[in-house]
Structure 1
C-alpha cells in the first residue's frame, strides 16, 4: 500500500504490505478453528480414536505459527522522503531498523521488469555501490502507483528488461 504523508519540504511516502486482518482478527479466526477442531477431536476421541488429539494440537500449533509469522511480516514499513537535495529511506517494523540517505541528484531508481506477467516488478534505489530494494513487498498495482508518484516528482526511472535466458531446455 502506498500512502502519501504531509511533509513541508517535499514528499513523504509510507509503504506497507497489504494485509486484510489485524492481529486481533487473526486471533479470532484461530480461536474459531480451535473450537471446531476441539469439537471434532473430542467426538473422535469419544468414539475411540484418541490418537487424533495430538495431531489436532500439532495442526493448531502450526496454524498459529503461520498466523504469527504472516502477521509479523505484514508489520514492515518503509518511509521514503524526497526533498530538493536528498532521498531518505527508512525501513523497519515497529521502529526504524535501517536507513539510507542518498543525494537526489545522483541517485537512480531502477525498475527491474519481471519475467512473468503475474510477478510484480522490483524497484531499487541506486547510488554508486549502494543498492537498496524499495517496496519489495508491494503488489503490481501498488508498484505502478509508486513509480507514477516518483516520476511526477521528477525522479528518472530506468526500466530494465529481464535478461534473456541463455542455455538449453532439457
Structure 2
C-alpha cells in the first residue's frame, strides 16, 4: 500500500491511497515473456520427445499466467483520493481515472473504524455523514487502516477544525 498525505494550510489535506501489488506494465510484460518462453520451451522439447500433451498444458499455463498478471496490473491502478478542505471532504475512487466521487460536509462527518466479526482481526474504515457512508482503504492491511483512521480523525469532524484553533489559542495564552 502506498499512502501520500500532503498538508497545505490554505488547501487543506490530501490523502492518496494506492495498493502496492504489482510492478509497472513494461516490467509485467517482460516477466510474462520470460516465464512464457521457459514454459513453452519445455513444452516444445517434451513434444519433440513424443510427449505432446505437455505442450497443451504448457499453453494453458501461459494463458492462466497472462490472465493473473493482467488482473494484478489492473488492480495496481486503483486509487482513492481524499481531499479535506475547510468545509468539505471530497472522496474520489477509481481505476486509472475517477469513477466515483463523493462530497461530504467536514463538520458533520465521522470517521469510524469498525471491527468485522466475520474475519479474524479485520477492520473496515468508514466515513459517515448524515445518511451516507463511504468505505475507504479496502486494500489496506489493518495497521495501515488504523493509521489512516487516526490521521483522518485529526482533521475531520466537528472538533477537528475548532480543536486545533482552541489548542493554539490556549498555547499562546499560556506562553
Flag whether TM exceeds 0.5 (same fold): yes
1:1-170 correspondence runs (5 A): 1-7=2-8, 8-115=10-117, 116-119=119-122, 121-155=123-157
Question: Which one has more relative contact order, counting CA pairs under 8 Å at least 6 apart?
Answer: 1
Bigger drift between 80-89 and 139-148 goes to 139-148
CA deviation map 1:28-53 (0-9, x unaligned) = 22112112112210111011011221
Mapped partners of 2:13, 2:131: distance in 1: 25
Contact 2:127 2:136 in 1 (8 A): yes
Aligned-residue offset at 1:6: 4.9
Moved over 6 A (4+): none
C-alpha contact 2:28 2:69 (8 A) present in aligned 1:
yes
The answer to whether the Cα contact below 8 Å between 2:112 and 2:149 also exists between their aligned partners in 1 is: no
Q: Number of aligned residue pairs: give it.
A: 155
Task: Classify the secondary structure of the residue corresponding to 2:92.
Answer: strand
Inter-CA distance 152–131: structure 2 relative to 1 (3 Å threshold): closer
Partner Cα separation in structure 2 for residue 109 and residue 118 of structure 1: 19
1:21–1:31 Cα change, 3 Å: same
Q: Deviations over 1:83-124 (max 9, x none)?
A: 2211110111111111011011111121112445553x2111
Alpha-carbon distance in 2 for matches of 1:26, 1:155: 42
TM-score (norm 2): 0.80
Q: Once structures 1 and 2 are overlaid, which stretch shifts more, 3-12 or 30-39?
A: 3-12
Q: In terms of Rg, which structure is larger?
A: 2
Q: Which whole-Å CA distance do the structure 1 matches of 2:97 and 2:107 have between them?
A: 28
Q: Give the deviation of 1:128 after TM superposition.
A: 2.3
Give the gaps of 5 or more residues in structure 1: 157-170
